[in-house]
């Protein structure tokens, strides 16, 4: 059973921070070093100092980026740069954005959600995690005792009961908050709005409706697993490792969105491949032809035409292959028969036959290119990329040998694999837009 609770969020004081866009960032894990430096320079109270601190040569166990983050967090609260709401609330968060010339609004709510173990609970992951990011997030959580970013999850809302509540808030007829308390446009052109909902009726309705729903993690797997570890560590320190009580560390801050929300958009993440020994385009095409119909698109096909042809009949499992070397040609690969995958993708990869990234990793990379699917998350032979033009340039310049362009994974595919407690290949999803970090923080107390 999913337990949702209101909480006293910590937010930037708008009397001291006039431009909220100057102090928020995207999630820490998509920020490059150059972008981190830019956020540092943007404002002395930018959230970057908490979520992605800098390392210095004289750092040690007592003084480092994690202790500095804790110092900033304490100081900013003491100076009322960050202030805590006086009453528990659920926060309705909406993002207005344009994608492929179409306008969308994604609406969800931020609350505390009681942590559940992946093996037995109703909160489901869909991707593998790595030890190093979890170690990093745990050190930050230990130093600051806080959630600085929301875990992003989606849920089924067939009769739109929760969506209708959120829509009423968004439209201003909730009876509690006509205008949002936070309203700014971020550096990506996305309009971010936040309503602070203290109305007990709305809170009770959302909490009650969420009880019998499963949650599927969209973004924030490392943060969620870190929160599980932190919970168990706190329980153990308090002498009750098996406690099912309601101590603060039993909960994590989470953004929940209906999977039926039209604004829940997923973009494809394309792949670049290199280190392929004795690359022979004709041999690769012959191997691919065993299960794919191959259409030669030549070398002067426009990106717009290419991506349109890729999206046509997207449910038929299609890819675009771009070969560099002396060819510099595009090919459409269309799976000929799904049943052949029953013999190719077996054991832990059985569920991969239903998704394009699984077919690409489990068959094309593993069987044809010699890039092992089981080790692909650690492989230097594969690069994940959003920009089609950048990917083509990387091949033309010889940095990579092949590029593969994909259609986005569909939301129901994520749900279907996750609910069976299976994992998808790395970077199978890219939810857009990203949630902004710094809109609401939570001290674990």
* In the chain, where the domains are located: 4-265+432-443, 268-407
C-alpha–C-alpha distance, residues 37 and 39, integer Å? 5
List the one residue out of 180, 140, 182, 190 whose CA is nearest residue 11. 182
Q: What is the CATH number of domain 268-407?
A: 3.30.1760
- 3-class SS letters over 262-285: CCCEECCCEEEECCCCCCCHHHHH
List the one residue out of 264, 46, 256, 265 whose CA is nearest residue 151. 256
Write out the H or E segment, with its range, that includes residue 57: none
C-alpha–C-alpha distance, residues 80 and 12, integer Å? 8
What's the Cα-to-Cα distance from 75 to each of 45, 81, 253, rounded to whole Å?
10, 8, 22
**Helix or strand or coil: residue 441?**
strand
End-to-end CA distance of the chain: 23
C-alpha–C-alpha distance, residues 120 and 49, integer Å? 36
Q: Residue 398: which residues within 8 A CB-CB, separation 6 or more?
A: 324
List the one residue out of 203, 212, 180 whose CA is nearest residue 112. 203
151-155 vs 215-219, strand pairing mode: antiparallel
List the one residue out of 106, 110, 127 whose CA is nearest residue 118. 127
In this prediction, the residues of the chain whose per-residue pLDDT falls under 50 are none
Q: Tell me what pLDDT residue 302 has.
A: 87
C-alpha–C-alpha distance, residues 143 and 71, integer Å? 9
Question: Is 122 exposed, middle or buried (CB count within 10 Å of its CB: 0-12, 13-18, 19+)?
Answer: middle
Query: Using an 8 Å Cβ cutoff, are 288 and 410 in contact?
Result: no
Q: Tell me what pLDDT residue 378 has.
A: 80
C-alpha–C-alpha distance, residues 141 and 229, integer Å? 11
C-alpha–C-alpha distance, residues 248 and 238, integer Å? 13
Backbone angles phi, psi at 385, to 5 degrees: -150, 145
Our measurement of the distance from residue 289's CA atom to the centroid of its chain's CA atoms, rounded to an integer in Å, reads 34
C-alpha–C-alpha distance, residues 376 and 41, integer Å? 36
**Helix or strand or coil: residue 349?**
helix
For residue 93, the cross-strand partners are 108, 194
Backbone angles phi, psi at 319, to 5 degrees: -135, 160
Q: Tell me what pLDDT residue 13 has.
A: 98
Q: Tell me what pLDDT residue 4 has.
A: 97
Q: Tell me what pLDDT residue 257 has.
A: 98
Q: Residue 220: which residues within 8 A CB-CB, separation 6 or more?
A: 27, 149, 150, 151, 152, 153
């Amino acid at each position: 059973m999913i337990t949702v609770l209101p909480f006293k969020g910590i937010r930037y004081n708008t009397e001291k921070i006039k431009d909220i866009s100057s102090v928020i960032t995207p999630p820490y894990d998509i920020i490059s070093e150059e972008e981190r430096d830019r956020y540092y320079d943007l404002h002395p109270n930018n959230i970057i100092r908490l979520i992605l601190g800098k390392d210095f040569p004289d750092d040690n166990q007592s003084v480092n980026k994690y202790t500095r983050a804790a110092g900033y967090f304490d100081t900013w609260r003491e100076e009322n740069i960050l202030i805590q709401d006086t009453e528990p609330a659920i926060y309705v968060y909406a993002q207005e954005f344009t994608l492929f010339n179409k306008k969308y609004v994604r609406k969800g709510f931020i609350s505390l959600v009681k942590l559940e173990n992946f093996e037995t609970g109703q909160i489901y992951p869909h991707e593998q995690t790595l030890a190093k990011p979890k170690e990093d997030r745990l050190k930050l959580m230990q130093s600051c005792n806080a959630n600085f970013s929301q875990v992003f999850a989606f849920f089924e809302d067939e009769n739109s009961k929760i969506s209708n509540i959120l829509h009423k808030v968004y439209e201003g007829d909730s009876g509690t908050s006509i205008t949002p308390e936070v309203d700014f446009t971020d550096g990506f052109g996305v309009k971010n709005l936040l309503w602070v909902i203290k109305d007990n009726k709305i809170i009770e309705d959302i909490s009650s409706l969420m009880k019998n729903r499963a949650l599927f993690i969209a973004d924030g797997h490392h943060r969620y697993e870190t929160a599980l570890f932190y919970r168990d560590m706190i329980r153990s320190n308090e002498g009750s490792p098996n406690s099912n009580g309601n101590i603060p560390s039993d909960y994590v801050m989470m953004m929940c969105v209906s999977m039926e929300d039209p604004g829940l958009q997923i973009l494809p993440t394309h792949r670049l491949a290199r280190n392929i020994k004795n690359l022979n385009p004709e041999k690769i095409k012959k191997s691919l032809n065993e299960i794919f119909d191959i259409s030669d698109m030549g070398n002067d096909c426009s990106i717009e035409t290419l991506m349109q042809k890729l999206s046509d009949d997207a449910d038929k499992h299609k890819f675009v292959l771009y070969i560099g070397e002396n060819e510099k040609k595009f090919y459409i690969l269309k799976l000929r028969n799904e049943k052949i995958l029953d013999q190719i993708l077996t054991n832990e990869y059985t569920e991969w036959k239903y998704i394009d990234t699984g077919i690409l990793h489990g068959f094309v990379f593993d069987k044809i290119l010699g890039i092992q699917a089981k080790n692909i998350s650690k492989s230097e032979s594969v690069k994940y990329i959003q920009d089609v033009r950048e990917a083509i340039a990387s091949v033309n310049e010889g940095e990579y040998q092949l590029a593969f362009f994909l259609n986005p994974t569909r939301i129901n595919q994520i749900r279907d694999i996750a609910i069976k407690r299976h994992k998808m290949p790395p970077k199978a999803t890219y939810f857009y837009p990203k949630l902004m970090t710094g809109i609401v923080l939570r001290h674990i107390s």
